[in-house]
Copies of this chain bind each other. A is one copy, B any other.
Amino acid sequence: MQRVYNFAAGPAVMPEEALATAAREMLCYGDTGMSVMEMSHRSKAYQDIFDGTEALVRELMGVPQSYAVLFIQGGATGQFAGIPMNLMTGSGRADYVDSGVFAHGAMVEARKYGTANCVASSRDEGYVRIPTLEASKFDPNADYFYITTNNTIYGTKYPELPETGNVPLVADMSSNILSEPYDVGKFALIFAGAQKNIGPAGFALVIVRRDLIGRAMKITPNIFDYKVMDEAGSMLNTPPTYAVYMAGLCLKWLKGVGGVEGIAEVNRMKANLLYDYLDESALFKPVADRACRSIMNVTFRTGDEATDAEFIKGAAKAGLTNLKGHRSAGGMRASIYNAMPVEGVRALVEFMKNFEMGRK
């Protein structure tokens, strides 16, 4: 069986090189005589793997030493609770931008722990754009200001970051972390579920400014408490050892292909291949507002559900899989994360062109 081009939104395509290494090392890693899965997390061999993954995150993203890099189980959804538990402890209020279902979910979850104000929303427009932000509506005493840099379901991305002054900026970067350069110093906290551009599902990466650590609510579970986890080097308890190992292999691959700067060029090229065609196609229409286009998730539709379904089915037969849009959005979505080769995007555009021609 040949490998397909997998356009899934996450879990998603991973570098074949990383998978091949994992297969080769499955029964025996180096001279340890065991699988990485079988290693004690307290062993030197495993600690080296773990430290190596953290070092790659720091190097590839340019994370200053004043930030902790944590690996926490529970995914991004876990952090929807973890963030207010750790940070909503000053005024007890935070500002949220409602730019999609996940941003909305984070805001609702935060209300278990304090006041989460919605400062802007594009919910009524089906989230096809990042809502316009008016600084006058921002709470100057908010404990943090929350955004979702890239909205996986709708294929939107913040064209520019909001200016929040002294209010710490918190970003869910699940679907575009490591896809293009961001200045970490502009954020108080960046987090991301691992299963798009980092590695397999199983943890959230949390990058947090150390001066914000240590003010968690008393009801915070230990495994979500940034201070406890930072002091334990993310090993308060057994971490998701294999997932962190796999993330290391993926990040090593990323470094090898030019790091974040290098992949950003490729990512923009891949996205342009699709958007350029969508802008001229008479059949397929791009969904996201032009000013807010994501380079990781490209959404489009024909306007006719039956044609969409026919396209998705035909594409799958041609080895272009998981193009169906999220159940809440419909249409099509091509997720073209770092590990999606240019050839995959070219094959998709080619298939779309032929599909369109075949209907004339």
Q: What residues of chain A have their CB less than 8 Å away from a CB belonging to chain B?
A: 1-4, 6, 8-14, 16, 19-20, 22-24, 26-28, 30-35, 37-41, 43, 73-78, 80-82, 85, 109, 112-113, 193, 195, 200-203, 218-224, 236-243, 246, 319, 321-322
Contact = CB atoms under 8 A, between A and B. Distances in A.
A221 B11 contact: no
Q: This chain: how many copies in the complex? A: 2
A289 to B, nearest CB: 26
Nearest to A76: B237
- Interface centre among A13, A224, A242, by most chain B C-beta atoms within 10 angstroms, is A242
B27 A26 contact: no
30 contacts: A1-B30, A3-B28, A3-B33, A4-B32, A4-B34, A8-B39, A8-B43, A9-B40, A10-B40, A10-B238, A11-B41, A33-B321, A34-B321, A73-B78, A73-B202, A74-B78, A74-B221, A75-B237, A77-B236, A77-B237, A78-B223, A109-B222, A112-B221, A193-B238, A201-B238, A201-B239, A201-B240, A202-B241, A221-B221, A240-B243
Contact of A28 (B1, B32, B202): B1
A200 B195 CA distance: 17
A30 B1 CA distance: 8
Nearest to A202: B240
Given A31-B1, A81-B221, A242-B242, A73 B73 contact: yes
Contacts of A78: 73-74, 221, 223, 237
